[in-house]
Structure 1
Amino acid sequence: MRGAFGALVALALAGAAGAQTLPELPPAEIYVIGEQHDNPTHHKMQAALVTRIAPTAVVFEMLDADQAARITPGVTRDAATLGPLLDWAESGWPDIAYYAPIMAATDAPILGAAGPADDLSGYGLDAALPDDQQAAREALQAASHCGALPEEILPDFVARQRALDAQFADRTLAALDRYGAPVVLITGNGHARADWGVPAAIARVRPEVAVVTILQGEDGIVPPGGGDLVLDADAPARGDPCDAFR
């Protein structure tokens, strides 16, 4: 899938027009759909893509297994129901109104990727990264935290990100094994990136699984890391994210 990346980016960005135009999707067993968490248009696109894909299951970075288990077949998948059911107000994620339409776009099981990890020994987390990649990852962590992190803890943040990528990959593969294809993972762009995120973790342990990666940018800026498809949307009005670190 990766070889078509350049052409697919150009197509998606040219036709996105506020991320309302749905692109054609290559066939896959797993679709990893990224987001900027606070961009409502990204979530609308995710809901539309889930409708088109008609997945057997949808895995959410934002849920753990206990929360997901509360979404039984009889539960109405709207914000008014899901908010209190999932204790969403205490979760730290953006408004449940962003995510409820994604869950409502399918009657397939909703699964959680968060929570305590299972055995991740097959994902190579103990192996050191190449020096240039380690440095790039540390620089990204520093930038995403507005330079507020002491340099000595940056490796810990990189290790945490690697572990989450492996965990999300593991939970998504478990969904594939249980329910069959296609499975969707809803996650942030940082985890969705093809070069070292969840798709790379899947490829490490199950290279035969066909994965399509969809990233979502803002104002024509392509998220880093690459993917099979990149969509664009206007950035919402937001304050300076670094204010929280000052």
Structure 2
Amino acid sequence: MKTFFTVTATALMIVPNFSIAKEISAKELTDLPSAQVVFLGEVHDNPHHHDNQAVALAALRPAAVVFEMLTPDAAQKVTPELMNDESGLREALDWDNSGWPDFAMYFPVFSASAGAAIFGAQVPRSSARDAVMGGDVASAFGDRAGEFGLLDALPSEQQTEREAKQMAAHCDALPAEMLPGMVLAQRLRDATLARAAVEALEATGGPVAVVTGNGHARTDWGASALIGKNVSVLSIGQFEAAPDASVPYDFWLVTEAAEREDPCAAFR
């Protein structure tokens, strides 16, 4: 993969090579290893996960924060004056029409990001829809598509696994012919997040925190895997139950589950 920018030896912060993901407690989020880019994973509708992200951000004090939930245009509306104004920020972002969970869960994350430059990495709905329909994601992404993996086909085993995960995430209710497009849309989101993280690092010098869903924070095929190897990356996943096997993150933790209605009811 092509180098995105030059880092001096003194500026590069090396993260230990964690070959096995390590479980941590929420308290340990205040003392994470140094990294230039830190992915803070979440289950979107779990308020405990957002509280933990806020704790991590307050300790990290990043120079920039990338939000999966914001478009680049929306990110420009996040002014310092609004970072501690919940109703004002919700209105400025038109959050109630965004499709994301209750803003009250996300506001602590924004408040803990005060002082950082805010970047948006949300893929426009039209681009995601085109990807699902088999559109040209490389053209939609732009001229750096190759650098962020969008010009290459996935290994067959990974493609199969990712399609199965998409089917499970949608309650086994999707037509099989939609699955390749769903995976392509996810890859577009991964690439967009990785590009935003790199641009934030280039613009500010870092460290950069990325607020995103657990799937994008994966170290094997998520956005964190698409960042150049000359950049130190740390990834944290958050779960509602302990996983049965090793998971693709540097660190992971378990919280209480969110209270939610049956997500498969709508499909039935």
- Give the TM-score of the pair, scaled to structure 2: 0.83
Deviation at 1:232, TM superposition (A): 1.2
Which 5+ residue runs of structure 2 have no aligned equivalent? Answer: 1-14, 125-140
Higher helix share: 1
1:243 correspondence with 2:268: no
Structure 2 CA distance for partners of 1:238 and 1:5, relative to 1, 3 Å: farther
Q: 2:148 maps to what in 1?
A: 123
For residue 180 of structure 1, the aligned residue among 186, 205, 209 is 205
> Match for 1:170: what amino acid?
R
Structure 2 CA distance for partners of 1:104 and 1:222, relative to 1, 3 Å: farther
> Match for 2:212: what amino acid?
T
Which 5+ residue runs of structure 1 have no aligned equivalent? Answer: none
For residue 118 of structure 2, the aligned residue among 110, 113, 117 is 110
The one-character-per-residue Cα deviations of 1:100-145 (angstroms, maximum 9, x if unpaired) are: 1111113212210114544323223121111111100000000001
Q: 1:40 maps to what in 2?
A: 47
Secondary structure in 1 aligned to 2:80? coil
Structure 1 contact 57–111 (Cα < 8 Å) conserved: yes
> Match for 1:179: what amino acid?
T
Structure 2 CA distance for aligned equivalents of residues 180 and 222 of structure 1 = 38
Deviation at 1:2, TM superposition (A): 7.3
1:6 correspondence with 2:13: no
The one-character-per-residue Cα deviations of 1:69-96 (angstroms, maximum 9, x if unpaired) are: 1112333433211111100000010111
1:215 correspondence with 2:237: yes
Structure 2 contact 47–105 (Cα < 8 Å) conserved: yes
CA RMSD of aligned residues (A): 1.9
Q: How does 1:86-165 map to 2 (within 5 A)?
A: 86-105=93-112, 106-115=114-123, 117-119=141-143, 120-165=145-190
Q: Percent same amino acid at aligned positions? A: 45
Deviation at 1:7, TM superposition (A): 6.1
Deviation at 1:219, TM superposition (A): 2.7
Deviation at 1:237, TM superposition (A): 1.9
Structure 1, 110-119 or 64-73: larger mean CA deviation: 110-119
1:82 correspondence with 2:89: yes
For residue 189 of structure 1, the aligned residue among 209, 214, 224 is 214
Structure 2 CA distance for partners of 1:136 and 1:83, relative to 1, 3 Å: same
Number of aligned pairs? 236
Secondary structure in 2 aligned to 1:62? coil
The one-character-per-residue Cα deviations of 1:149-189 (angstroms, maximum 9, x if unpaired) are: 11111001111111110111001100000011100000000
Structure 1, 168-177 or 96-105: larger mean CA deviation: 96-105
Structure 1, 121-130 or 149-158: larger mean CA deviation: 121-130
Structure 2 CA distance for aligned equivalents of residues 83 and 199 of structure 1 = 28
> Match for 2:38: what amino acid?
Y
Structure 2 contact 148–194 (Cα < 8 Å) conserved: no
Structure 1 contact 57–184 (Cα < 8 Å) conserved: yes
1:53 correspondence with 2:78: no
